Amino acid sequence: MKTLRYRLSGRPRNLDDCLDLVRKGRPARARLHLRIARTVSEMFVREEFLGEYLLEFPDRHCRWRDFCGAFFLCEPAPKRARQLRRANERLARRLKSLEDAGVVVAGRDSRFDASCPSA
């Protein structure tokens, strides 16, 4: 769904806005960077899996972060592995929607694992 900001100003804000701009005939390239952000509270430590996209159009750039999943470090290993797998599945769906629209994505073979840089 298109955001109100995009409808009024023509500046894309998220994936749906960028895909709409691509469908209007503007060629685009994308770069993907994966990050793992660690959030610490008084009781828990949580790791969030984020995909950072930079979509480059001929006349503008659009950047956004996509939340792909998270887990608490105190959770058992099988549950953490399941959340990691789900994050990679969500990432794959996002990349497929970009590629179906004709966007060439650099870094498309990336997946979340223990070697991803922390934000």
Domain positions in the chain:
4-104
pTM, to two decimals: 0.82
In this prediction, residue 82 carries a pLDDT of 93
Q: Tell me the per-residue pLDDT of 48-68, one tens digit each, with 9 for 90 and over.
A: 999 998 988 888 888 888 899
Give the chain's mean pLDDT. Answer: 85
How far is the C-alpha of 76 from the C-alpha of 39, rounded, in Å? 18
The whole-number pLDDT of residue 45 equals 93
CB of 31 closer than 8 Å to CB of 108? no
pLDDT band at 116 (very low <50, low <70, confident <90, very high): low
CA atoms within 13 A on the CB side of 112: 29
pLDDT tens across 8-37, in order? 887 777 888 888 888 887 777 889 999 999
What is the structure's pLDDT at 8?
Answer: 82
- Residue type, position 76, single letter: P
With bands split at pLDDT 50, 70 and 90, how would you rate the model's confidence at 118? low
The pLDDT score that the predictor gives to residue 89 is 95
Question: Is the pLDDT reported for residue 90 higher than 80?
Answer: yes
Radius of gyration (C-alpha) of the chain in whole angstroms: 16
| DSSP assignments along 52-68, one per residue | EEEEE-SS-EEEEEEEE
